[in-house]
Structure 1
Amino acid sequence: MPELPDLPVRADLPRITETLTTAGAAVLVAPPGTGKTTLVPLALAAALPGRVVVAEPRRIAARAAAARMAALLGEKAGATVGYAVRGERRVGPDTRIEVVTSGLLVRRLQHDPELTGTTLVMLDECHERQLDADLLLALLLDARDGLRPDLRLLATSATVAATRPAELLGSGTPAPILEVRGRAHPVELSYLPSLPRERVEAHVARATRAALAATTGDVLVFLPGVPEITRVAGLLSDLAAVDVLPLHGRLSAAAQDRALRPGARRRVVLATAVAETSLTVPGVRAVVDSGLARVPRVDHRRGLAGLATVRVSAAVAEQRAGRAGREAPGHAWRCWPEYEHTTLPAYPDPELRTAELTTLALELACWGTPDGSGLAWWDPPPAGALAAGREVLATLGALDDTGAVTTRGRRMAEVGLHPRLARALLDGAAELGARPAAEVVAVLDDDGLISGTDLVTGLRALRRDRPARWVREVDRLVRRVEREGTEPVAVKDDPAFVVALAHPERLARRRAPGSASYLLAGGTAVTLPGGDGPEWLAVAIADRDPGRAEGRIRLAAPADEQLARVAAPHLRTTTDEVDWVDGDVVTRRVTRFGAITLAENPIRDPDPALVAAALRRGLQAEGIGLLRWDAAAATLRQRLDLLRRTHGDPWPDVSDEALLADPQSWLGPDLDSARRRADLARIDAGQALRRLLPWPDAARLDELVPERITVPSGSRVCIDYSCDPPVLAVQVQEIFGWAELPRLAGGRISLLLHLLSPARRPVAVTADLASFWRTGWPQVRSDLRGRYPKHAWPEDPATVAPHRGTARNAR
C-alpha cells in the first residue's frame, strides 16, 4: 500500500485494525477531515482478508469516497476500490473495498444475509441517523448474531454521542470506543441576523458577499435544498472572477465532481447537507450557514408526506462551521442571532422518528419480522407510523392477511423504489408498456426533473432534452421490469394512470367550477397554483406549508372519472346514508370516490334502524330539548333528580348525559316510530321518563317527592323542584298556626319557605318556621299592617285561623 497522506487518523490506524481484529466491533469517533472515511478502509483491507464494505448514507458521498481511495492507490474506481449506488456499479474481480449506499446494502443483505465474502462492514457517519442507516445497523446486528458471528462491524461518527452504538455493537459488553482527535485549524465565528422582511436567499447571498470580501479561498454555503440553491445562485450571478457551483445529490456525477475539485478561479459552492461530514470540498476557507435543513416529515392526518424545512441542531452547526478550518484557519458566518444559538436542539432528530415508514415496513416484512420485534434498534420505529406503513403495503398487495410479505411484495422490494412507485411501475408496465411507465415513475421519484406543475408538459420536455440522470434511471427501471418478467406492451401513454397507481388517494376533483381548489380522494383540500385547471387531476406531488389550511399541488396530470374508476376501483363506493344534517334527518344514496362525492339521490324508504340511529345522533348533537317538555315533564325530571341525589339506586339518573347515553331505554317506541325532527317534538318527555321509574319503589314517588303539599289553609300548593332545596311559595296567612315545615324524600330534605304578601310578593324566606315566628314575624307584621290594613296581622299567628282571603278579626 502506498504512503498515506498525513491526516490525523493515520497514527491511529494500527490501534483501529488491532481492535477490530481482536474485539470484532468498535465505534470510531473522529471529527470531519481526519481521514476516517478514506484511510481507515484502506488500512483494514490491508490487515484483513476478504472484502471491506463501506456503507455511506448518500450516493454522492459513496462515489466521492471511492474515487478518493482509488486515487490514493494510483488507480481508478473499479479496481481495488469500487462503489455501488442505485443504477451504477463499478467493481472488478480484484475489488477489496466497496463503497455502497446504506439502502443498497440493505437490499444486498435481503438477498444474502451472510454477506458472503465480506469480512468487515464499516457504517460511516452513523451519527446522521438516516433511516436506511438505522435499518442497516439493525439488520447487520441480526445477521451477525444469527449467521455471521465472525462479521466485523465498525461504526464511525463525527460526534461524541457514541455510547448507544457501542452498546449495540458489543456482545454482552459495549464495543470499544476509539477516539481520534482532529487537527482542525481555528475557525472564527460571526453571527449575521436577517434584516426585516429579508428572505432566506437574500440573507444568505448577503452573508456570502461578506465572506468573499473578508477572506481568501473558496466559500462553502449550506442551504436546505435545491430551490434555495438555484435562487441564491441567481442572486450571486453578477460576481466577477468567481465560479458559483451547486452541490447536491440530484446533480450528474460530472457536476458533482466539478464542485469537489479545486478550480482555477475562486469558487462559491452552494451545497445541501451532503457536504456536512463525509465529503471534503477542497480550498474552502469560509463557510456560510443558513441554519436550515430539509428533513422528511409526514402529515398523517392529511396524508401528505414530504420534506420540511427545520432549524439545524447545534451538532450540525458545529460540523458545518468546522468545514472552514479543515485546511487552514477559517471563518464561519451563521445566519442567525448569537442568542438564538443556545436554543438549537443538541442533535438532529433521527429520520426514523419523523419519516414515512412504508419502505421500512416492507424491508422488515422481507426480513421476516414485520413489526421489527427481535431486532436491536438504536431507536425503535414508532409503532403508529410503522402500522400505517403496513396498512399501505396491505392495500398494495405486498402483505397478506397475516402481515407476511407476498411474492408481489418481494417483487416490489426488488425494484429499489418506494413501494407505491414500485407498484406503479409494475402495474403500469403491464397496462401501458415498460418504458412509458418507467418514464413517469422516474419523475415521481425525482421531482426536481420538472420545474412546473404540469406533468404532461414536463414529460414532453424530458423526452425532447433527454437529461442524463432521467434517461439513466428510466433505462434501469425498464431493465428491472423486464427482469421481473413483465411483458411490455405498446399502448397509449397516460401519465395520470401511472400517478393514480402510485397515489390513488391523490386523485382529485375540482371543488367548484372555475376554482383552483381541489379535493383529494383522501379527503385533503389542495390548491393548484396558477388558477383554473381540469375537473380531475392525478396529483403526483403535493405538500402543505405550516399554518395553511390547504395543501399545494406541485406536480399533477389531467385525469377524469373513468381513469379514476379503472386505476382505483376499490375507492368507489355506493352507500345509503341516513344522518342528522343541519338539524333534521337526511336520507340519501351517495356514490363516492374516496372523499369525493360523485352522485347523491334521496331514498324513499330508508331503513328504520338507520333513521333511529340518525335521530339518536340528532339528540346527541342538539340535546333532549328536541322533545316536548311541558311543566309537568320538567317537574317530574326534577323530582327524580332529587331522589337520585338523596337515595341513589334504584332511582334513575336523569341528567342530560345519562339520558343521551341510552335514549332507547326511555324513549323506546316513541323513538322507533319517529322519522324526522318534527316527530321528536311531539314526544311527551314526561310520559317517556315514567318508563324509567323503578318498581315497586315507584309507588312511593308522590309520598317522597309530592308535586303539591297541603298547607294549614287547606290549599294544595305546588313545590318548585327547580331550586335546591325545593321551594314552597305560599301566602303568609295560609300557614298561620303552622309551627314546623314538612320534610321531603323520607325526611332527608327540608323545604325552603317563600312567604308571600296578599299581592303574592315575597316578604320573607325561611327554612326554620319556629324561629321565624319568634324573631322575624314582628318586623314582617309591621310592614304588612302598613301596606295591607284590611287584613288580620296578629301578634301571635296561632290566634288566627289560616285563611286564603281577608280576615278582619284578631287585630
Structure 2
Amino acid sequence: MNLPDLPVKAVLGELAAALREHRTAVLVAPPGTGKTTLVPLALAEHAGGRVVVAEPRRLAARAAAARMASLLGERVGETVGYSVRGDRKVSARTKIEVVTSGLLVRRLQADPELPGVDTVLLDECHERHLDADLLLALLLDVRAGLRDDLKLLATSATVAADRLAALLGDAPVITAHARTFPVELGYVPPARGERIEATVARAVRTALSEVDGDVLAFLPGVGEIARTTSLLSDVEVVPLHGRLPAGRQDAALTPGRQRRVVLATAVAESSLTVPGVRAVVDSGQARVPRVDHRRGLPGLATVRVSAAVAEQRAGRAGREAPGRAYRCWARRDQASLPAYPEPEIRTAELSRLALELACWSTPDGAGLSWWDPPPEGPLAAGRELLATLNAVVDDQVTERGREMAALGLHPRLARALLDGAAEVGARSAAEVVAVLDAGAKATDIEAELRAPRDDRRRTEIRRLTRLVTGAAENPGPALVVALAYPERLARRRQPGSPVYLMAGGTAVELPSGSGLGDAEWLAVAEATRDPGRTHGVIRLAARADQELALRAAPNLVSEMDEVSWDGDVVARSVRRLGAIVLNERPLRDPDPELVRQALLAGLRKEGLGLLTWSREAERLRQRLAFLHRVLGPPWPGMADEDLLAASEQWLTSARRRADLARIDVTAALRGLLPWPEASRLDELAPDRIEVPSGSHIRLDYAGGEPVLAVKLQETFGWVETPQVAGVPVVLHLLSPAGRPAAVTGDLNSFWRNGYASVRAELRGRYPKHPWPEDPLTATPTRRTNRKS
C-alpha cells in the first residue's frame, strides 16, 4: 500500500513489531502525524481480523473513515467503514471500522469476546473522555480473562503516557515526531467588559490582516460560534461542531476556493485536520462535562483550557507552513493554566457509567484496572438513581436495566423512552425525551412540544422512535417526564400557593406566567436552586395528578407509622410518595420507643424547660454537675445532652407533652446516681455546711465551684478554709445587712491581710455589732449583741 509520507510512517514497522511481540503498545504522536489514518491502514494489511478504531467523537469517527477510504481510492463502507450513533456504513468487505468509544462499549457488553476483531486502536486517549476510560478498563478485563490474543494500541498526542503504558502491561511506548513548521505566539487579552466572542472576532480580523491562508478559531460551544459569526458578517465563516449535519461537517473539512474562517469547538483540537489553516485564534475556553443539576443529566461547564490543550490548538497553525497563534488571554495568565485537562471521570455525572458497570457485573468497578478510578461519592449517587429507575435491584442489573443500557442514552432518558413508549406510544415518548435531552425555552413542556421543530430535533425524534416499540399513540408528556424524574414529582403545598414539594424533599416554586399555576400535581423536568433562595424554581414541567404519580413511581410509595414532635407528640400512619404525604390517619397505640424518640426530639427542640424543675431538682443537678466535673465518672454528667442521652432511665412513663411536666425530676436525677457512690453524695457535695456560729448554711454550686455566702461575724475563729470533694469553698463574707463585704478562698490570708480594712469600714456602718480586733479568738455570732 502506497501510504502518504507522514511522520508516523517512519515508526510503522516498529509499531507492528511491538504489537506482534507484546500485543499492546502506546503510540505518542502529535496531531498531524497521521496516527489516526495511516496506522489503521498499516495494521489491517497483516491483521488476522478486523481493526476497530475507537474515536471519542462521532465527527472524528466519520472524518477518519472518509480520509482512509480516500487514500484507498474507495467509498466509505468498503474496506473502511464507520459506525456511530444513528449512522453506519460497513459491508462484508470492511476490514477497518471506525466507531465511537461509547458504541464499542455497547458491543463489548453484548459480546465481550469481540469475535472477528484482531486489533482495537484507542485513539486520542489523552482527551480522557469518560466513555474512552471505561472502554479501556473493559478491554483490559477482556484481555485478562477472555481474549489474551486481542491486540490493543493506545494513541496519545501528549508525552504523558507512562501510566497508560503501565495499564497496558508495561507496553512499549513508540514516539512519532511531527514535522511541524514554526508557530509564532501572540496574546490578545479581552478589553475590560468585553465578551469572549468580541475578543475572538477582533483577533480573527487581526489574523486575516497579518497572515495568509485560513483562520481556525476555537470557541467553547455552539452559542459562542453563532454570536461570533454575527460579528464577522463580511467574512466567509464556516462553523465546525458535533451538532452540524454530516454534509456541513464535511464541508468544513474540505479546502475552500477562498480564504475562510473556521469557527470550531474542541472537535478540531487533535483528531481532525482542517486543511489550509495558517492562523489559529484560541478563545482559551472549553466546555467540559459537569453535573447539570437543573436537568439531572450530564451537562457542560465552561472552563479555562489546559496548557496541553492550548499547545495542541496552537500547533494547528503550523501543520502545512509557518503560522501564527493568537491567544485571547494575557501573557501573564499563561503560567497559571492547568497542565492537563481534568479527566471526565472525576467531574461527570456517573449514573450511566454505573449502569455499564452493573451490566459488567462489577457495580463498584473494583475489579477493573482504571486510569483513574471513579470517585466513590458520584458513583454511589449514580447507583442510587439506578435503583430508583428500577435498573438495578440490590446492585444487580435488571432486565429493564439491560434494555436501558442498550439504548445508549442517559438512564433517565432510557427509562422514559422505554416505559413511556409502552404507555403513550413510541413517537409520543420520543418527542418528550428529545425535549428533555436538548432542554426547552418554555416552562410548560406541552407548550414546548407545540413549538416548531428544527431539523436536528426532527432527526432525533425519528431516531428515538426507531429504538423502541410501543402502544398506540396517546400523548402524555407528564408521564414520560415522571418516568425520567420520579423523584421530581411535585404536589402543591397549600391551595393557591405557587410552592410545590417534590418527592425528593425539595420545595420548588412556579415562576409567574408559567401557564401551570392551576395544577395540583406537576411532573418537573428541570429546576434550579440559587444560593440564598428558600425554594428552587421550576424551569420545565407538565401537569400531572396523583394517579399518574403512582403509576410512574410505585417504588417511591411507602406506608409507615410515624411518631414525631410538632409541639406535642403526633402519632399517625402515613402513606407517602417520597416526601409527599398522600394520606394519613391517627395512630392509637404507637410504639413506645418511637414515642420516646419523639419526646426526645421535643426536648432537644424546645429545651429541658418542658420539665418541671423544682428548686430541689435544680440544686441536685448543680451538685451532681460539680461532682462530675471534679471527680468524673461514674458521677453522671448533667449537661442537657447528657440527660437526653440517659433518657431511657428517666423518660419511661411519658407519652405526651403534658406528661413531661409531671415527671419528678428530683427522683429522675437520683435514679442516675451511681452505686455505691450515691451513699457519699452528701459527704462529697453537701447541700449545707456548718459554720462556727452553729448555723447550717446552703452551698451554692450554680457557678461550677462551691460558694458559701455567710455573715462575716459567724466565721470568727474559723482558720481553715472549708473544702468539698477536695475543692476549697469560695466564701462570700457578708455584712450584717447581707451585703458582700469580702470574697476569699483563703480564710487564713483574709484574717491576716484583709480583715482590718473590712473591720474599719463595717464598724462605722454597723456600730451595734461586734467587730473584734482579733477575729480568731472572738466568739462567732448570729446576733447583734456587743460586748465592750
Q: Is the structural similarity TM-score above 0.5?
A: yes
CA distance in 2, matches of 1:379, 1:548: 36
Partner of 2:481: 499
Match of 2:341 in 1: 348
Q: Using a 3 Å threshold, how does the CA distance of structure 1 residues 257 and 459 change in structure 2: closer, same or farther?
A: farther
Give the equivalent residue in structure 1 for 2:11: 12
Any stretches of 5+ residues in structure 2 without a counterpart?
A: none
- Identity value in percent: 67
Q: Distance in 2 between matches of 1:546 and 1:198?
A: 27
Deviation for aligned residue 1:176: 0.8
Normalised by the size of structure 1, how large is the TM-score? Answer: 0.90
> CA–CA distance in 1 between the matches of 2:532 and 2:282?
26
SS at match of 1:293: strand
Q: Number of paired residues?
A: 785
Contact 2:51 2:97 in 1 (8 A): yes
Residue 559 of structure 1 aligns with an amino acid whose one-letter code is A
Say if 2:557 and 2:577, in contact at 8 Å, map to a contact too: yes
Residue 123 of structure 2 aligns with an amino acid whose one-letter code is D
The code of the aligned residue for 1:409 comes to G
Cα deviations across residues 324-353 of structure 1 (Å, max 9, x unaligned)? 222222222323333332222211221112
Residue aligning to 1:275: 268
Match status 1:717 vs 2:661: no
Residue in structure 2 matched with residue 703 of structure 1 by the alignment: 683
The alpha-carbon distance between structure 1 residues 544 and 116, as it changes in their structure 2 partners (threshold 3 A), is farther
Moved more, 512-521 or 21-30: 512-521
Deviates more, 1:532-541 or 1:300-309: 300-309
Q: CA deviation at 1:511?
A: 6.2
- TM-aligned CA distance change 1:648 to 1:302, over 3 Å: farther
Out of 545, 549, 565, the position equivalent to 1:580 is 565
Q: Which residue of 2 aligns with 1:162?
A: 161
* Contact 2:82–2:89 (Cα < 8 Å) also in 1: yes
Change (3 A) 1:771 1:363: closer
Residue in 2 that maps onto 1:807: 785
Q: Distance in 2 between matches of 1:208 and 1:681?
A: 80
Could you tell which deviates more after superposition, 727-736 or 319-328?
Answer: 319-328
Amino acid at match of 1:704: L
How far residue 302 of structure 1 moved from its aligned partner, in angstroms, is: 10
Superposed displacement of residue 527, structure 1: 6.1
Aligned position for 1:104:
103
User: Which secondary structure state, in structure 2, belongs to the residue aligned with residue 668 of structure 1?
Assistant: coil
Aligned AA (1:507): L
Which structure 1 segments of 5+ residues have no match?
A: 483-487
Q: CA separation in 2, counterparts of 1:230 and 1:660?
A: 64
Aligned runs of 1:313-324 on 2, under 5 Å? 313-324=306-317
User: Is it true that 1:413 corresponds to 2:405 in the alignment?
Assistant: yes
Query: Which one-letter code corresponds to 2:421 in the other structure?
Result: A
TM-score, normalised via structure 2 length? 0.92
* Cα deviation digits, residues 47-101 of structure 1 (max 9, x gap): 4332111000011100011001111111111111110011211111221111000
Equivalent position to 1:557, from 534, 537, 542: 542
Structure-2 residue corresponding to 1:788: 766
Correspondence 1:327 to 2:320: yes
Q: Among residues 558, 570, 577, which one is paired with 2:555 in the alignment?
A: 570
Task: Please give the per-residue CA displacement for 1:196-245, whole angstroms capped at 9, x wherever unaligned.
Answer: 33334344334334433443332222222223333333343xx21x2223
Structure 2 partner of 1:193: 189
Contact between 1:303 and 1:522, CA under 8 Å: does it hold in 2? no
**Cα separation, 2, equivalents of 1:546 and 1:160:** 42
Residue pair 1:30, 1:180 contacting (<8 A) in 2 also: yes
| The 10-residue stretch of structure 1 (293-302 or 556-565) with the greater mean CA deviation from structure 2 | 293-302
Selected match of 1:216 from 212, 215, 230: 212
What aligned pairs does 1:456-471 form with structure 2 within 5 A after superposition? 456-461=446-451, 467=455, 469-471=456-458
3-state SS in 1 of match to 2:316: helix
Q: Name the structure 1 match of 2:639.
A: 655
1:774 to 2:761 alignment: no
Among 644, 654, 659, the residue aligned to 2:628: 644
The structure-2 alpha-carbon separation of the partners of 1:604 and 1:374, relative to structure 1 and needing over 3 Å to count, comes to closer
> Residue 695 of structure 1: CA displacement?
3.7
Q: CA deviation at 1:647?
A: 3.3
Distance in 2 of aligned mates of 1:25 and 1:43 = 16
Shift of 1:36: 0.9
Please give the alpha-carbon distance, in whole angstroms, between the structure 2 residues aligned to 1:517 and 1:179: 61
For the Cα contact (< 8 Å) 2:286–2:303, is it kept in 1? yes
* 1:425 to 2:417 alignment: yes
1:614 to 568, 579, 598: 598
Deviation at 1:128, TM superposition (A): 0.9
Matched-pair contact (CA < 8 Å) for 1:60–1:256:
yes
**What's the CA shift for 1:699?**
2.9
Question: Which residue of structure 2 aligns with residue 797 of structure 1?
Answer: 775
Partner SS, residue 692 of structure 1: coil
Letter in 1 for 2:229: A
CA distance, structure 1, for counterparts of residue 708 and residue 294 of structure 2: 57
Flag the 1:539–1:211 CA change in 2: closer, same or farther, 3 A. Answer: farther
**1:434 is aligned to 2:459:** no
Match status 1:138 vs 2:134: no
Cα shift at 1:140:
1.0
> Which of 455, 479, 495 lines up with 2:445 in the alignment?
455
Change (3 A) 1:653 1:134: same
* Residue identity matched to 2:155: T
CA–CA distance in structure 1, aligned partners of residues 382 and 38 of structure 2: 39
SS of the aligned residue for 2:326 comes to strand
Alignment partners' CA distance in 2, 1:108 and 1:556 = 35
- When residues 159 and 657 of structure 1 are mapped into structure 2, their CA distance, relative to the original with a 3 A threshold, is same
Q: Which residue of 1 aligns with 2:652?
A: 668
Question: What is the DSSP-based 3-state SS (H/G/I as helix, E as strand, rest coil) of the residue aligned with 2:184?
Answer: strand
Give the structure 2 partner of residue 34 of structure 1.
Answer: 33
Distance, in Å, in 2 between the alignment partners of 1:317 and 1:159 is 12
In 2 relative to 1, CA 780–472 (structure 1 residues): closer, same or farther, beyond 3 Å?
Answer: closer
CA distance in 2 between partners of 1:588 and 1:152 (Å): 64
In structure 2, distance between residues paired with 1:421 and 1:322: 39
Are the equivalent residues in 2 in contact too, given 1:304–1:543 (CA < 8 A)? no
How far 1:121 sits from its partner (Å)? 0.8
Deviation string for 1:339-387 (max 9, x for gaps)?
A: 3322222112211122222222222222232222322111112223223
Q: Supply the AA of the counterpart residue of 2:484.
A: A
For 1:50, give the aligned amino acid: G
CA RMSD between the two structures: 2.9
